[in-house]
Structure 1
Amino acid sequence: MNKDKISIVILAAGKGSRMKSPKAKVLHNISGKPMLYHIIKASREISNDISVVVAHQKEAVIEQMSEYFDDIHFVVQDAENFPGTGGAMKNIAPKNNKVLVLNGDMPLITSKALEGFLELDDDVIMSIFDLKDPNGYGRVIIKDEHVQYIVEQKDANDAELNATTVNAGIYAFSKEVIEKYIPLLSNDNAQKEYYLTDVISIAKKDGLSIVPLLVDEEHFKGVNSKKDLADSEEIMQTRIKTAHMNNGVIMQLPSTIYIEEGVKFEGECIVENACRITGNSHIINSHIKAGSVVEDSIMKNSDCGPMAHLRPLSNIEDTHIGNFVEVKKSSLKGVKAGHLSYLGDSEIDEGTNIGAGTITCNYDGIKKYKTIIGKNVFIGSDTQLIAPVTIEDDVMIAAGTTVSSGTVAQGSLALSRVKLKTVKNFYYKFFGKR
């Protein structure tokens, strides 16, 4: 695809008051990434010239997007003097001959959904929906396959109200239209804002060609509320999971599974119901069992769950993680940890068995410390390993043992049980005979 054909401007300056949130609307997450991220990602597939217009919380928007992209131009809107969508276009200097204007609250846009704007060469291309119930929307009046004008519902006559075509809010302009008509916009209206839609009426008066482009509502769905956010999340999740299943991942009850945008699968993988996989997790020939959570971790030739939790920066290979086991920032290779354990800030080598109730005590209230466990170590149930601690190869740790900081030498048995004491008939002395 020739990315020199079109420049893209993304309007991301609004407050989004209907979201009822202190966070900028475009920074609300869809499947693990801000809404604006998804739009920029789709845009980069078809254009090498992308500008993002920012105003509200501009520093936060620029900072977060710069974490993902290093080739985006940020344009700060003078929202005080030039408010509105038209005002957002005041300082845009596109490189390419066609300019596509997108909204920063349409996270479901894909590059394929934008192809129609590339195929047409008219002065102005205006996206439209055809709704069964257009109530509340301005109507787009079309004649002979060209847009005649846009009328707000409150201003429409009966014939215009019968129209079901509405403005989808996305436009493509020739570079010449942008350069000529944006400076002509006026804020002589009740809201005292500059409206991009006014370009349509001015261009029409000058006899320019304004062509409607019918788009599907799913891809161009705007997010204006937390309900819209949830609806868009469901659509995005269906896309993500469908793509993974088409590439060979087995999912049981996929509607109950949540998988974020950055997750990768490789080889034969199974994800059971009610699982959550987030961040940049990479799952290779592995089985994630029901109710488990995998966060920004790597699994290779391994299984976890049911009800296991791999917290960020965990790396398990040829390993079994059983039910109610939590692993955090640890590397496990060839390990069995069957149930009810916490393994944090650890390195554990092959052949090692972690008994139920084992805890790596990695935090002293100020700092976190590492636990290093060698090969073929057998750790009995209810063991506490107080880091920093090293357990060398071929060691046995007796059940109920607390291993303090230091090293347990290769081939050793570590045992710290208190000698059992029994008091005869104490039960009857305490409760009395029944």
Structure 2
Amino acid sequence: MNLSVVILAAGSGTRMKSDTPKVLHKICGEELLFYSIECALELSDDVHIILYHQADKIRQVCEQRFPSTLSFHIQDHANFPGTGGALLQDKKLLSTKYPKLLILNGDMPLITPSSLTPFFSNSPISMGVIHSSNPFGYGRVILKEGRVQKIIEEKDATQDEKEVCTINSGIYCFDRDVLESYLPKLSNQNAQKEYYLTDVIKFASQDEISISSIDVSEEEFSGINDKSQLAQAQEIMLNRLRKKAMKDGVIMHLPHTIYLEKSVRFEGECEIEQGVQLLGKTLIQNSHIKAHSVIRDSQIISSDIGPMAHIRPKCRIENSHIGNFVEVKNSHLSGIKAGHLSYLGDSEIGEGSNIGAGVITCNYDGKTKHKTLIGKNVFVGSDCQLIAPLKLADHTLIGAGSTVRKDSKEGDLVISRSDQKNIADGFFMFFKEKK
């Protein structure tokens, strides 16, 4: 498509009350700005990001995620503040590849390429208009006989104009020559002392240039200005992700209680119970994730997890049963059973092995993490401590309550316990009671 996209991301986002730049706050595990960038890249090969507040930090994060695909510009905020000033470089419109410019905002994660399609008309200007029941805080779109006359910011609006419920979405598509004609005419004589991009609409209307007003969804096109709106947007995105997963064949119990991030993938027959959290780059394939389990940055293949299990990053679990209150981290488990109450960190466990209740792989010595390697058909009794680095050969049996420090050989029975002593009347000696 012969279209350049400009994403406005220069604002300080003071209403977020955070040291994190507004556009780097996340919903469903992904930065707000990334949603706009992904949408833009589906529409154009010429995407420009306008930065100012914490520009270096935002650019660094973007370049890690989108290497060599974006053009960055720093707004001359001292001389040209505001949305109109964002498009100016050396008092001229920033250089773009194509003669049409789609203007997006970095705090609108819910827009989609399909919802932007109506903006690509033959009109010199297209803009999004929202019919809102609560227009407070937004610029009002003043219409006359169905034609856009101007957009007035709330701080500059009269009381009558504040009663208007037609608000500006902040999304525009301009012919480049329109911007080149009117940007130099912008003035900062207003309540915020800024150069408003919306004044281009006013000047174009006065010159009877055609302006297409596109009715758009308030849910999809509203920007995010505070933490409350951030939470609302995340809930909308969660509903989208859940519905997509279920349409793709995933069974979800009480879907509104399930949290999943944008990078989570499902393959095959999957069942997700209530209260589950699926985070990061997680793959669930032909598996059953039981209630209130948490899985992050891991692969779960042909296995059942939980309830109330915690699978931390860098795990690959296949053909296994991981029960309640089991925590796994940075481990490869294949064809095993760990029924309950165990910690398996930095481990590899082979097919047919059984991990009893209360088993701990003691992987950290205070300085370094060490691996526990457990072979096939190993039976680890309850309440054992496996002191890494450790290698247990195939067909090893570990007696319950053992602290294991030495590697085993195939077929070994390993028992490490102190002798039990039964002292007659010891209870009464301790508590000073009579029989």
Which moves more between the two structures, 17-26 or 37-46? Answer: 37-46
Match for residue 363 of structure 1? 364
1:157 Cα deviation (Å)? 6.2
Q: CA deviation at 1:156?
A: 5.5
1:327-342 mapped onto 2 (5 Å cutoff)? 327-342=328-343
Q: Provide the C-alpha distance between the structure 2 equivalents of 1:54 and 1:414, rounded to a whole number of angstroms.
A: 63
Of 4, 13, 32, the residue aligned with 2:10 is 13
Equivalent of 2:88 in 87, 90, 109: 90
Matched, 1:36 2:37: no
Q: State the secondary structure of the residue aligned to 1:67.
A: helix
| 1: CA distance, partners of 2:299 / 2:56 | 33
**Counterpart among 106, 109, 119 of residue 108 in structure 2:** 106
CA displacement, residues 309-328 of structure 1 (integer Å, 9 cap, x when unaligned): 00001000001000000000
Match of 2:70 among 69, 72, 84: 72
CA distance in 1, matches of 2:239, 2:416: 53
Deviates more, 1:95-104 or 1:357-366: 95-104
Q: SS state of the match for residue 12, structure 2?
A: coil
Pairing 1:30-429 to 2, within 5 Å after superposition? 30-70=27-67, 71-91=69-89, 92-118=94-120, 120-152=121-153, 160=161, 163-404=164-405, 406-429=406-429
Q: How many Å separate the matches in 1 of 2:281 and 2:155?
A: 48
| Corresponding letter in the other structure for 1:257 | I
The offset of 1:188, in angstroms, is 3.0
Kept in 1: contact 2:242–2:255 (CA 8 A):
yes
Q: Is the 8 A contact 2:348 2:374 kept in 1?
A: yes
TM-score (norm 1): 0.95
Identity %: 52
Give how far 1:48 is off: 1.3
- Kept in 2, the 8 Å contact 1:371–1:385? The answer is yes
Q: Secondary structure at the match of 1:428?
A: helix
Distance 1:133 1:278, change over 3 A: closer
Q: Which amino acid aligns with 1:204?
A: S
Per-residue CA deviations over 1:343-375 (Å, capped at 9, x if unaligned) read 000111101000111100110111101111110
For 1:27, give the aligned amino acid.
L
Counterparts of 2:416 and 2:154, CA distance in 1: 80
d(CA) in 2 for partners of 1:374, 1:78: 63
Distance 2:40 2:261 in 1: 20
Structure 2: how far apart are the matches of 1:159 and 1:66? Answer: 46
Partner of 1:261, secondary structure, is coil
Aligned-partner residue type, residue 15 of structure 1: S
Paired AA for residue 413 in structure 1: L
Instruction: Answer yes or no: is the 8 Å Cα contact 1:145–1:211 preserved in 2.
Output: no
Q: 1:253 to 1:26 in 2, by over 3 A?
A: same
CA distance in 2, matches of 1:84, 1:190: 12
Structure 1 residue ranges without an equivalent (≥5): none
Worse-matched range after superposition: 166-175 or 185-194 = 185-194
Greater shift, 258-267 or 104-113, is seen at: 104-113
Change (3 A) 1:60 1:137: closer
SS in 1 for 2:342: strand
Q: Is the 8 A contact 2:376 2:394 kept in 1?
A: yes
Give the drift of 1:152. 4.6
Letter in 1 for 2:246: M
Q: 5+ unaligned residues in a row in structure 2: which ranges?
A: none
Pair 1:156–1:11, CA change in 2 (3 A): closer
Residue 25 of structure 1 aligns with an amino acid whose one-letter code is K
- CA deviations over 1:77-97 (Å, ceiling 9, x no partner): 121222111111113212112
Q: What displacement does 1:65 show?
A: 1.4
Q: Residues 387 and 56 from structure 1, CA distance in 2 versus in 1: closer, same or farther, beyond 3 angstroms?
A: same
Q: Check the 8 A contact 1:400/1:417 in 2, yes or no.
A: yes
Letter in 2 for 1:142: L
Classify 1:316/1:183 alpha carbon distance in 2 versus 1 (closer, same or farther; 3 Å). same
- CA deviation digits over 1:371-422, x for unaligned, max 9? 1111010000111111111111111111111111x42111111111111111
276-285 vs 33-42, which deviates more?
33-42
Contact preservation (8 Å) 2:286, 2:302: yes
Cα displacement (A) at 1:144:
4.4
| Distance (whole Å) between structure 2 residues aligned to residue 216 and residue 340 of structure 1 | 48
Q: Deviations over 1:47-106 (max 9, x none)?
A: 111111111111111111122212111111121222111111113212112111111111
Moved more, 203-212 or 11-20: 203-212
Q: Could you tell me whether the CA contact under 8 Å between 2:150 and 2:199 is conserved in 1?
A: no
Q: In the TM superposition, what whole-angstrom CA distance separates every residue of 1:261-282 from its partner, at most 9, and x where no partner exists? A: 0000000000000000000100
CA distance 1:401–1:327, change in 2 (3 Å): same
Which amino acid counterpart does residue 115 of structure 1 have in structure 2? T
Tell me, what secondary structure is at the counterpart of 2:88?
Answer: coil
Q: Could you tell me how far apart the structure 2 residues matched to 1:66 and 1:313 are?
A: 24
Corresponding pairs, count: 429
Contact 1:140 1:167 in 2 (8 A): yes
CA distance in structure 2 between the partners assigned to 1:319 and 1:84 by the alignment: 57
SS of 1:219's partner is helix
The amino acid across from 2:86 in the alignment is A
